[in-house]
Amino acid sequence: MVRPLEQVFYDATHFFSREGKDAPGLTDVIPAMDLIDKQLATGTLDHKLDPAIRVALGLGKRAINHYYNKSDESEVYRIAMVLDPRNKLQYFRDNAWPDQWIADARFLVRRAYDEDW
């Protein structure tokens, strides 16, 4: 299990280090954080791993969630996700976001449109 966990961080580091036309956008942040969070959560429950590794994974999960919560402070991430034709609100539904969070994302887009356009 440790190898796949290493791989998710390796892949994320390389993905977010791309430049130019291949550089990641705002709409890549939330899915990447969801993927990392899911891997960490799975690892913390894997009793085949050494307890120290599971504790470290739990601390990593806490850290990623700290930064994930910071994305809530900026509406731009959710607005970008909803406006991206690849995502729209379906990403949130597919990833079991609470209905209220989905409604909030829809509201943020509507409010930004009404106020800024």
The whole-number pLDDT of residue 1 equals: 53
- Per-residue model confidence as pLDDT tens for the chain (117 residues): 557 788 888 999 999 999 999 999 999 999 999 999 999 999 999 999 999 999 999 999 999 999 988 888 899 999 999 999 999 999 999 999 999 999 999 999 999 999 988
Distance CA 82, CA 102 (A): 10
* pLDDT cut 70: percent of the chain above it: 98
Residues 6+ apart with CB under 8 A from 24: 15, 16, 18, 32
User: Are 81 and 91 within 8 A, CB to CB?
Assistant: yes
Q: Do 62 and 92 share a domain, yes or no?
A: no
Q: Do 27 and 58 share a domain, yes or no?
A: yes
Boundaries of domain holding 54: 1-73
DSSP 18: -
Q: Do 98 and 45 share a domain, yes or no?
A: no
The whole-number pLDDT of residue 68 equals: 87
Q: Do 25 and 36 share a domain, yes or no?
A: yes
Q: Do 61 and 17 share a domain, yes or no?
A: yes
Q: Do 13 and 49 share a domain, yes or no?
A: yes
How many domains does the chain contain in total?
A: 2
Q: pLDDT tens digit string along 38-52?
A: 999 999 999 999 999
Q: Do 54 and 11 share a domain, yes or no?
A: yes
Q: Do 95 and 115 share a domain, yes or no?
A: yes
CA distances to 1, 11, 27, 37, 113 from 50, rounded to whole Å, are: 11, 24, 35, 19, 50
pTM greater than the 0.85 cutoff: no
Distance CA 114, CA 112 (A): 6
Q: Do 38 and 93 share a domain, yes or no?
A: no
Q: Do 103 and 87 share a domain, yes or no?
A: yes
